[in-house]
Amino acid sequence: TKSSDSKDEL
């Protein structure tokens, strides 16, 4: 799981 995708949340 790329950790960058979790950055779509505020």
Residues forming the site for other proteins (CB under 8 A): 1, 3-10
d(CA 10, CA 4): 13
- Smallest gap, in angstroms, from Cβ of residue 3 to other proteins? 4
Residue linked to tokens 């505020």: 10
Amino acid letter, 4 = S
